[in-house]
Each structure stands twice: as C-alpha cells, then as structure tokens.
C-alpha cells in the first residue's frame, strides 16, 4: 500500500523543517521549474512494502539543500556533492517511509542523476510539489506492488 499524502507531508516536514532546519510550504502544480536542469534521486523499498520514491530538485534547489547540509558557502559545491545531498534527502525520506510500515522490508541505495530533459510525470502515483527554503522540490511515490506494467 502506497504511503498516503498526509503521511508524506509529515515526513517531508520532519526531513526538511526539523532535521535540516529548512522551512517548507506547499506549492501548487509544477511550473517552469519542471523543465529545467535538475537532480533526480530515486530509492526503492522492497519486501512486505514495495514502493518507489523519487525526488526531483532543480539545480538551484539542490544547491540550497547541499549548502545547508554541508554548511558550505554558496556556489562552492561540486556536482558530485549536490548529487550526494539530493541522494541523502531521498534516503532520509525512504527511511521514514520504510519505518512507517510493519513487516520486513529493505531500502535500496539511492540512485541519482542530473537531467536537462523535460520532466516526465507518472500517472499512477502520488505526488507533492513543495518549496524548501523558498526553492521548488517535487516528490512522487508509487506502490510498485500494484503498478501497471
């Protein structure tokens, strides 16, 4: 069973507002940011729970997250460090989702890539578009147990 919207909102608040001390607020639908250069991180939970979680962070959002996470000066992080920061965010989200469910499940390692291609949105998933420290972030997740093939 996929994580419900309210639970994911709480997880995102825990990760950003509490752990990283980066304020969040809900946003509407993805805007022009969805076609820009961005970091895409995915993680999979398998076992009694079978869920895919994807975080898409425009490059500017990844920079703000990385600078906060690593206490770095603006503009000083490498592409690898920004990938690591977004990968750690999806890992924290995935760990929280895994911890919500009873039973035996495994959390994969995060997979992160940088893309300049237009974002493709999945139709059979749940999603949230939020602002983190004033920057846009898109999170979507899907129960893979019942995903169409």
What's the rounded Cα separation, in Å, for the pair 15 and 81?
19
- Give the residues of the chain that fall short of pLDDT 70: 1, 29-35, 118-124, 146-149
All structural domains of the chain, each given as residue ranges with its CATH number in brackets, are 5-26+39-146 (3.40.1550.10)
Q: What is the pTM of this model?
A: 0.90
**Other Cβ atoms within 10 Å of 105 Cβ, number:** 17
Report pLDDT for 32.
53
Output the pLDDT for position 120. Answer: 63
pLDDT in the model for residue 43 = 98
Give pLDDT, residue 1: 61
Q: Report how far residue 22's alpha carbon sits from residue 30's, in angstroms, rounded to the nearest whole number.
A: 20
């Amino acid at each position: 069973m996929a994580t419900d919207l309210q639970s994911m909102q709480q997880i995102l608040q825990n990760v950003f507002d509490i752990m990283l001390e980066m304020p969040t607020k809900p946003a509407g639908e993805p805007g022009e940011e969805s076609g820009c250069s961005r970091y895409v991180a995915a993680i999979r939970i398998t076992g009694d729970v079978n869920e895919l979680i994807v975080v898409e962070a425009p490059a500017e959002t990844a920079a703000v997250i990385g600078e906060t996470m690593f206490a770095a000066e603006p503009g000083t992080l490498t592409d690898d460090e920004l990938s690591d920061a977004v990968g750690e965010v999806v890992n924290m989200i995935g760990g929280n989702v895994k911890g919500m469910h009873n039973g035996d499940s495994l959390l994969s390692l995060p997979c992160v890539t940088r893309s300049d291609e237009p974002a493709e949105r999945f139709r059979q998933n749940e999603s949230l578009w939020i602002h983190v420290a004033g920057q846009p972030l898109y999170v979507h997740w899907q129960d893979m147990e019942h995903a169409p093939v």
